[in-house]
Amino acid sequence: MRPPAPDDLDSSAPVRAVTVADVLALPVLTAGEPEVVTGVTHLDRPVRWAHITELTDPASFLKGGELVLTTGMPLPGDAAGVRRYVDELAGVGAAALVIELVRRYHRPPEALVDACQARGLPLITLARDVNFLEVTQVVHALILGNQAEAMRRTQRIHEAFTALTLRGAGPEDVVRAAAEMSGRTVVLENLVRQALICEPSGTTLEEALTGWEQRSRATPSGDRTRQGGPEGWLAAPVEYQGERWGRVAMLPARTTEPAFGPEHIIVLERTAMALTVARLIHPAPWERTAHRNALRDLVEQRHHSPEDARARLVALGLPTENSRFLAVVVDLPAEDTTANTTATPETRLSQELRTAGIPALVGELAPGRVGVLLALNASRPWLPAVERLSSAVLDLAPHALVSVGSEADDLTDAPRSFHEAARVADATPPDQPLPAGRSFRELSDVGLRCLLYALREDTRIQEYAERQLGRLLDHDTRHGTDLLPTLRHYLEAAGNKTNAARRGGLSRETFYQRLRTIERVLDCDLESGEQRTELHVALTAMDVLRVR
């Protein structure tokens, strides 16, 4: 079988060791018409050196990883001697045996083929004469050059992570850099096997994180960088203040190349060190940061696919099977958003929900606004969960505003629930009383006043209110009258003049006279239901525009 050509080495890819396949593809050896007789599946063995020998016991001069070159002259003539010769080469860890079929042999001896086959030692024959000295020179130059490049790349890795540390990079930056340098998917997890940060490489979030906790628990942890588990992860512990806090895992690529090399180990170890420093620089709990980022990406629909979003939230510990989802938005007064980092509103709400056994993700969506995604069992009503959450919020901040979206049967509808909750929050004036018997608000609570409050910055609303009522306000200012309160009483009484006069503490004759003045100033007919509606909308808009 002809040897395969080596893969092209991408200058951006990690430097890998020179293999038997790489050496066989060199022109100095292809000139000899090499043929792989045995061990074709072991051509990925690294070659540490090339060694010419005509000794009957070359193994005593080898240390392992050598490409052994021979003319075949010293091979024993008996089968037992050939087996002993091959056993010694395989025992010392020779990379391959190359025999020239020019002088002593013109075809490889059967005893040699059988012995190499039995020990899994690659046996390569050369049909033409080759200058072995030139072969060693070329191979050694390739190996040394490869080692020099590996050292340069190792230096660049150290410099890159040093730069990250010096500029105070956060964990996301560190994990992203590790994935880019290694060309592998890198995941940071905590001690309970929740994947806090995942930077995929050559795969998707769904593929990287599906079944994360079970896969992670099948991969043993250790006190040093090691490869193990059913999938062959490369993992390194991450420490914080002298104690193990979590670990960073590098997942193997789906290629025929070896999963990891020395450079991958260097990248992962430097990643773990940089994460330890980042944890000291950024003391806020990373779980909270992970929840915040996951919620923001979900609300803004920044995931590549619904499957990616689902896999990410499950990896953070949120159940998605047989669950219904409900979004809650909590707006906190400014004085309640300056708490210390160990007792932030997000932390305290997360603790309250955990105590209640309610699965949820809690994270800051914007300054002063906390988002909560509840994952409720399909048979569990949502009202008690929201009431408990709302009570905890009001204990934390009595003037907080809790807004709820509608239920979502699937995670793909959770962004809609968040947008609804945000619309409720944005449409609620500070002086709006709570609905009777409830400590939170929902979409059905958004009436005309709330709608106009939400649109208060729209200049069309402002122009409308001014166009309808501006002349009446000007009249009151110039003449010291109070026609606007009279109009308000009339509109609130739904056009009942008797009730309106009583509300204003006026006689009917005085009240009627004021209504005629209002009609004259505004050039309107207060007997018209449509015009009364227009004035009522304008008056409500004027009220919400004055809310502070």
Q: What pLDDT, on a 0 to 100 scale, did the predictor assign at position 129? A: 85
pLDDT digits (tens, 9 = 90+) for 516-526: 999 999 999 99
DSSP string, 36-100: EEE-GGGTT-B--EEEE---S-GGGG--SSEEEEE-STTS-SSHHHHHHHHHHHHHHT-SEEEEE
Answering whether pTM is above 0.85, one says: no
Q: What pLDDT, on a 0 to 100 scale, did the predictor assign at position 468? A: 93
Query: Judging by beta carbons within 10 Å of its beta carbon (0-12, 13-18, 19+), is residue 102 exposed, middle or buried?
Result: middle
Q: What pLDDT, on a 0 to 100 scale, did the predictor assign at position 316? A: 92
Instruction: State both tokens at 252.
Output: 């193997």
| DSSP reduced 3-state for 187 | strand
- Of 17-26, 227-236, 293-302, the one with minimum mean pLDDT is 17-26
pLDDT digits (tens, 9 = 90+) for 54-103: 887 788 788 888 889 888 887 887 888 888 999 989 998 898 999 988 87
Enumerate residues 6+ apart whose C-beta is below 8 A from 180.
Answer: 201
Residue 258 has pLDDT above 70, yes or no: no
Rounded CA Rg of the chain: 38
pLDDT digits (tens, 9 = 90+) for 530-546: 999 999 999 999 988 88
Contact 172, 271 (CB under 8 A): no
Look up residue 497 and give its amino acid: K
CB atoms within 10 A of CB 233: 24
Helix 459-479 × helix 483-492 angle, to 10°: 120
The pairing of beta strand 34-38 with beta strand 123-126: antiparallel
Residue 7 has pLDDT above 50, yes or no: no
Residue 423 has pLDDT above 80, yes or no: yes
- Of 40-44, 145-149, 393-397, 495-499, the one with minimum mean pLDDT is 145-149
Distances (CA, A) of 123 to 50, 73, 75, 135: 15, 16, 14, 17
pLDDT digits (tens, 9 = 90+) for 472-517: 999 999 999 999 999 999 999 988 888 988 988 889 889 899 999 9
pLDDT digits (tens, 9 = 90+) for 332-381: 887 654 444 446 788 888 888 888 888 999 999 999 899 999 999 877 88
d(CA 489, CA 466): 19
Give the residue-averaged pLDDT of 442-459: 89
Nearest C-alpha neighbor of 134 from the set 212, 23, 241? 23
Contact 45, 95 (CB under 8 A): yes
Instruction: State both tokens at 112.
Output: 């040699």
Looking at every residue in the chain, the average pLDDT score rounds to 86
Longest pairwise C-alpha distance within the chain: 135
Contact 250, 233 (CB under 8 A): yes
Q: What pLDDT, on a 0 to 100 scale, did the predictor assign at position 434? A: 86
d(CA 72, CA 103): 8
Q: What pLDDT, on a 0 to 100 scale, did the predictor assign at position 150? A: 67
Instruction: State both tokens at 436.
Output: 């009777």
Contact 363, 293 (CB under 8 A): yes
